[in-house]
Structure 1
Amino acid sequence: MEVLVGRQPIFNTHEEVVAYELLYRRNESNQFEQVDSDNATIQVLKNSVFTIGMNELTNGLPGFVNFTENLLMTNNIIDLIDPSTFVIEILEDVPITDQLIMRIVELRNRGFTIALDDFVLRQNIEYYNTLFANVDIIKVDFLSTPKSGRAIIEERVKNFFPHIQLLAEKVENRTQFEEAKAANYSLFQGYFFEQPQIIKSVDIPMNMLQYFEVMSLLKEENSNVQEIAEKIEQNISITYKLLQLINNISRKKSKVRSVKQAIVMLGLIELRKFLYLLAVDEGLADEPSDVYIELMRTSIFRAKICELLARKKNKQNYSEYYLVGMFSLIDTILQRPIQLIVQQLPFSEVVIETICGRETEMTIYLQLSIALTKMDLEKANQLAKELGISTADLGYIYRMALEYTKSSI
């Protein structure tokens, strides 16, 4: 399934790109469609973090994302994004209340940068003092806000809130750009610089039955992390997106050696939020094609073969061998270069090297799993002999992996 995100660069006074605004797009018309605002933001975050990946989407620069009042005031979504990666844009229709300001203070204390979108002073200026003291960026629409309206905001910021960066939106020509610079704007966005680009990628279809089985395990009073991990491991879509999330929010960029480790790092509460986010709109997705189903079946089969072989050879890191097999076809599934994909996954160096096709100690395990997938028994027996795996053991491993794959897909 193809997914899209609109991306428009934000420039500084030197006309250098310093951030991007991320925009909801349902098709390639590059126009915003009428859609529930909550859902639009959730889709942007899902596609940015779990499918395309922020490294590829913004080249490591911050991404501005619109937040409705509902999403702003709850933690379900905000807890799953990295403050150093996203700028929270508060939409212009969000009511300014004491509760909102308290929430902004809390989010800034957590490291988030807060921007006011399409800001216009509509009430007594004094009402905004506390708000201005606690935001970082104010976006002003140069196309629709009259010069007199802009001047009130500009003077207020200049005289009383110099910490605020002013961002000029919808700048359409050089004259407006120079005018904004003269009025102390430091950030700029609009068609004068570049219209939004459509960034495309391919999503991995999610087996909803497995999804509900995972959710059922999470609802148990004493949830068993091992059981949850084993169920998630059967679903390449959830596994891939979970690892993307860990890579995005982990400050230390820890290497993940198993799905169980990823769950422990995230925590069960955050795992529930993550799964909730994945399910939004999933029911509207197209049924996966036969090609996708076969690719996922092959990936799971390879994964289990690699794991069982590693267990047989007493490898302590057998879970990493599982990941090697599972992600050996990820470039084909996502239709993207493997070098880009592995940049967004928190794997150890040896796993990355193996997946990228370079020779490692894991390579022979992956090659054997591929030979069994193709039923190339001559090559499979040759590789098994090199590993010291008997024909009887290889047959048993093959049958176990086959049963596991049938129960997974």
Structure 2
Amino acid sequence: MEAYIGRQPIFDELEQVYAYELLYRHNEKNYFEMPDADVATYDVIAKTFVSFGVDELSQGRPCFINFTENLLMSPIFEQLSAQLVVVELLEDIVITVDIIERVQELKGLGYRIALDDFLLNDDLLESEIFKYVDIIKVDFLLASEEERLKIEYLVRSYYPHITLLAEKVETVEEYTWARRHGYKLFQGYFFKRPQIIVTQEIPANILQYYRVIALLRETDPDINDLAETIECDMSLSYKLLKLINSSPKRRLNKVRSIKEAIISLGLRDLQQWLHILTYREMRDTKVSGRMEEVMRTSLIRAKMCESLARYNGGKLHSEYFLIGMFSLIDVILGRPLHQILEQLPLSEGVVATLNGEATPLQPYLQLVISLENMEIERIRQFAQQIEVPASAILRMHYEANKWAKQVH
């Protein structure tokens, strides 16, 4: 399943990339085609922090993201990075006292504020918000030269802390005019069209999202129940690990289980991200038969590896679950395994095993793979190595298939 996002560079006076604006895209067509701005913003945020990874998209530079009034007033900013996200207020937001107070609050959290497609008017509240604005974007297709001159005079005379950004600059004449009149940042087709960036995503099981949300709404959510429910869904498990890597509260220690991942992210943050992801995923997703089979195989491997470890009294049986779960992640995402593992906060033992190195976990995964391929001699070899009888292996395989069918 492919995921798309648009990324257009914003240049400084030296024509170096200063930042990127991230744009909603639903396919390879390079234009906006979603009437619901809330959905578009949720989609951009989910893709930035989960599908692609904010580090990969931003390359260490600020990212401009459009925010509607609904999203501006929401608690979503607790999950974002003030260092990387520039809050771009859409032009249709009506400036009110509540909006000004919210912008002031976000400034206090370290966010930079940009006004999109700005045009002058006589609203006194609009002038009040200028105290907290860092960047004003002026649309060179929309604003006349007279309007642009008025904006430049206002900023130069009364708000010198504000940086002017010329957007939709399409000719060398417009670029030269903007530089001559105090603009410091530039964006438009004259420099570069938005680039469509594509990645592969694991298809989501929306019902599983709702099951986790229901568990989180309980008075005292059970971490073990949450972990077991998330483990039933490969998409959720993968996204949870990606979130930990993208979170401003990123941990130094690697996780060895989904339970550890939940504790690391925190129940409140998990609940907020699930709402973001659910809002975004509430559309029909077509999943190929091949992808369904690969995901089902991953679940069977995960359950089998965990069951084998439990049989042997393994204390870290959740690590065994993870090596099975992510043993086909490169096939699902269509990317080199080492690149994927670099973006997941997995323990060294899990990473080494998935990379094919000899580890204490490796025989368990190899036994399960040999069982899939009906390689009798290799099954015997690995069964003897981990000291599990054939009768127990067959029973576990039956139970793993049954479990995978129930949850997927």
RMSD: 2.2
One-letter amino acid matched to 2:139: D
Q: In structure 2, how many angstroms separate the alpha carbons of the residues matched to 1:263 and 1:388?
A: 32
Aligned to 1:249: 247
Q: Secondary structure at the match of 2:99?
A: helix
One-letter amino acid matched to 1:397: M
- Give the gaps of 5 or more residues in structure 1: none
Aligned to 2:207: 209
* Structure 2 residue 153 is the aligned partner of structure 1 residue 166: no
Aligned to 1:274: 273
Aligned to 1:46: 46
Q: Tell me how far 1:204 sits from its aligned partner.
A: 1.8
Asked if the contact 1:11–1:19 (Cα under 8 Å) also holds between the matched residues in 2, the reply is yes
Using a 3 Å threshold, how does the CA distance of structure 1 residues 184 and 356 change in structure 2: closer, same or farther?
farther
* Structure 2 residue 4 is the aligned partner of structure 1 residue 4: yes
In the TM superposition, 1:128-139 aligns within 5 A as 128-139=126-137
> TM-score, normalized by length of structure 2?
0.92
Q: Tell me how far 1:297 sits from its aligned partner.
A: 0.9
Asked if the contact 2:304–2:400 (Cα under 8 Å) also holds between the matched residues in 1, the reply is yes
Q: In structure 2, how many angstroms separate the alpha carbons of the residues matched to 1:67 and 1:204?
A: 26
Q: Tell me how far 1:127 sits from its aligned partner.
A: 4.2
Aligned to 2:30: 30
Q: In structure 1, how many angstroms separate the alpha carbons of the residues matched to 2:177 and 2:361?
A: 60
Asked if the contact 2:116–2:136 (Cα under 8 Å) also holds between the matched residues in 1, the reply is yes
Q: In structure 2, how many angstroms separate the alpha carbons of the residues matched to 1:373 and 1:36?
A: 46
What whole-Å deviation, never above 9, does each CA across 1:285-343 have from its counterpart, x for those lacking one? Answer: 23422212111111111112222333344443322222121111112112222233223
Q: Secondary structure at the match of 1:176?
A: helix
What whole-Å deviation, never above 9, does each CA across 1:206-233 have from its counterpart, x for those lacking one? Answer: 2233333223322323221110110110
Aligned to 1:237: 235
Q: In structure 2, how many angstroms separate the alpha carbons of the residues matched to 1:352 and 1:18?
A: 35
Asked if the contact 2:165–2:184 (Cα under 8 Å) also holds between the matched residues in 1, the reply is yes
Aligned to 1:308: 307
Aligned to 2:198: 200
Aligned to 2:261: 262
In the TM superposition, 1:88-107 aligns within 5 A as 88-107=87-106
Aligned to 1:120: 119
Q: In structure 1, how many angstroms separate the alpha carbons of the residues matched to 2:292 and 2:274?
A: 21
What whole-Å deviation, never above 9, does each CA across 1:130-164 have from its counterpart, x for those lacking one? Answer: 31111222111123212332223223333433332
Asked if the contact 1:7–1:197 (Cα under 8 Å) also holds between the matched residues in 2, the reply is yes
Give the stretch that moved more between structures: 209-218 or 228-237. Answer: 209-218
Q: Tell me how far 1:55 sits from its aligned partner.
A: 2.8
Q: In structure 1, how many angstroms separate the alpha carbons of the residues matched to 2:303 and 2:66?
A: 41
- Give the gaps of 5 or more residues in structure 2: none
Aligned to 1:288: 287
Identity of aligned residues (%): 45
Aligned to 1:80: 79
Using a 3 Å threshold, how does the CA distance of structure 1 residues 61 and 375 change in structure 2: closer, same or farther?
farther
Aligned to 1:71: 71
Asked if the contact 1:204–1:333 (Cα under 8 Å) also holds between the matched residues in 2, the reply is yes
Aligned to 2:376: 377
One-letter amino acid matched to 2:98: Q
Aligned to 1:58: 58
Q: How many residues align?
A: 407
Q: In structure 2, how many angstroms separate the alpha carbons of the residues matched to 1:35 and 1:128?
A: 26
Using a 3 Å threshold, how does the CA distance of structure 1 residues 401 and 113 change in structure 2: closer, same or farther?
same
Asked if the contact 2:97–2:125 (Cα under 8 Å) also holds between the matched residues in 1, the reply is no
